[in-house]
Amino acid sequence: MSRGINTRCLHLEETEGKTDNYGALSFPIYQTATYAHPGVGQSTGYDYSRLQNPTREHLEKIVCSLEGGVDAFALSTGMAAITLLFELFKPGDHIITESDLYGGSIRLFDNVSVKNGLIFTHLNCSSDDVEVAVRENTRAIYLETPTNPMMNVSDISKIASIARKHDLILIVDNTFLTPYFQNPLQLGADVVIHSGTKFLGGHNDTLAGFIVTSNETIAEKLRFLIKTTGSGLAPFDSWLLIRGIKTLGIRMERAASNAIRIAEFLKTRKEVTKVFYPGLPEHPGYEIMKKQSKGFGAMLTFNVDSREHALKILSEVKMIKFAESLGGTETLITYPTTQTHADVPEEVRLRNGITPCTLRVSVGIEDPEDLIAELKDVFEKIGD
């Protein structure tokens, strides 16, 4: 971890000085299902691509070095990553999760994981309730910080010390900030999750997921699980992720600087009743973010004064796309109520603060003047 993160996005130290692959700078796509063996009991190191593929392995090593783990796993989607990780648990295990999470994670936990016998307590992990919720059968704490979509911030080091005290695994979904801005493993987490579809891939062109861990025992179990369940990332998609990660730093910097400008602009509009961006000093998580992250990210959420205004904004945007997903080069606006969080029961949504007036923006890397100009235009139209 001695080199800077931008260098680590481009160069894998352990392969340097070698001119394998004819010296190609772009890592090859090993589009193969299987591998010929030199003889009985011998292997090139690869036997069958469900177990491992050189392109996927190269990507896993890069992501591992970015998060500072002992091993990383590349999966077909973020949800495949979380699903694989939850194979670590057995019926009767209790897990504490943040209540405001990506809608797909809530759907997985409350439908699939519960059916498999896991027991959940969902709570606001930025409060002091985490330790109180620990039971004899508690095995893990699962966080997002900032959360999707309400941007709640929790103190990773503080929760890590609770996890250590009670021998729990601390899992942090680091999709929103990426290792460029936040390194949960360095703050005491045991496992980091990513939707690689978002900022790591970064171009709205492919799906991927990652698990990174600092714990050798967990890594060993996950190696067994990925080869057994078979949701590893395909070679071509692995290559797209390797390519996307090369520009992670400059994309994150640009998108985050656009995000603060949009947050400031939204605050000036009378139709906007609240802006949730942790880079605003009035955000309750601002001081924690300054301590545990190198930047505030490119995601923001805001409330307008009526459902009608929310819907009108969605129908008036042009360059900014009304679409699900986040973390790509293009700016997207999302309506959590009918999109990302549609499957979360309404009372849970409302309790978490997601109302029909709530909109989420994933800020891209366009020129900030053009983003503000489009938003100005949209707000003028809804004022009519």
Ligand X SMILES: *Cc1c(COP(=O)(O)O)cnc(C)c1O
Give CA–CA dist 25/323, Å, rounded. 34
Give CA–CA dist 60/37, Å, rounded. 24
The 336-365 contact track toward ligand X, x by CB under 6 A, reads ------------------------------
Query: Which strands, in side-by-side order, build the sheet including 332-334?
Result: 272-276, 299-304, 358-362, 332-334, 321-322
CB neighbour class for 34 (10 Å; exposed up to 12, middle 13-18, buried from 19): exposed
Size of the site for ligand X (CB under 6 A): 16
Minimum gap (Å) between residue 89 Cβ and ligand X: 18
User: Omega into 149 within 30° of 0, i.e. cis?
Assistant: yes
Single out the catalytic residue among 71, 93, 102, 269: 102
The 109-148 contact track toward ligand X, x by CB under 6 A, reads -----------------------------------x---x
- Measured from the Cβ of residue 202, the count of other Cβ atoms closer than 10 Å reads 27
The 310-339 contact track toward ligand X, x by CB under 6 A, reads ----------------x-------------
372-382 per-residue burial string, b: 16 or more CB within 10 A, e: under 16: bebbeebbeeb
Minimum gap (Å) between residue 82 Cβ and ligand X: 7
| Assigned token pair, 353 | 């603060």
102 is catalytic: yes
* DSSP 8-state assignment for residue 50: T
Q: Which stretch binds ligand X (CB under 6 A): 72-80, 211-219, 238-246, 272-280?
A: 72-80
Single out the catalytic residue among 198, 254, 269, 312: 198
Q: Count CA atoms closer than 13 A to 360's CA, side-chain side.
A: 26
292 binds ligand X, rule: CB under 6 A: no
104 binds ligand X, rule: CB under 6 A: yes
Subset of 160-199 contacting ligand X (CB under 6 A): 173, 175, 195, 197-198
Minimum gap (Å) between residue 203 Cβ and ligand X: 14
Query: Which strands, in side-by-side order, build the sheet including 138-144?
Result: 71-75, 209-213, 191-195, 169-173, 138-144, 94-98, 119-123
Single out the catalytic residue among 46, 50, 107, 261: 50
Strands 321-322 and 332-334: parallel
Single out the catalytic residue among 93, 155, 173, 190: 173
Q: 249 or 336, CB closer to ligand X?
A: 336
331 neighbors 362 (Cβ within 8 angstroms): yes
Give the closest residue to 54 by CA, choosing from 29, 71, 79: 29
286 is catalytic: no
Q: 100 or 190, CB closer to ligand X?
A: 100
377 is catalytic: no
Tell me which residue has its CB nearest to ligand X.
Answer: 78
Minimum gap (Å) between residue 98 Cβ and ligand X: 11
Q: Helix, strand, or coil here: 156?
A: helix
Q: Which of 179, 209, 232, 328 binds ligand X (CB under 6 A)?
A: 209
The 246-285 contact track toward ligand X, x by CB under 6 A, reads ----------------------------------------
- Measured from the Cβ of residue 186, the count of other Cβ atoms closer than 10 Å reads 15
Q: Count CA atoms closer than 13 A to 276's CA, side-chain side.
A: 21
Minimum gap (Å) between residue 112 Cβ and ligand X: 14
79 binds ligand X, rule: CB under 6 A: yes
Give CA–CA dist 8/185, Å, rounded. 17
198 is catalytic: yes
Minimum gap (Å) between residue 326 Cβ and ligand X: 6
Binding residues for ligand X, rule: CB under 6 A, are 77-79, 102, 104-105, 144, 148, 173, 175, 195, 197-198, 207, 209, 326
Catalytic residue ranges: 50, 102, 173, 198
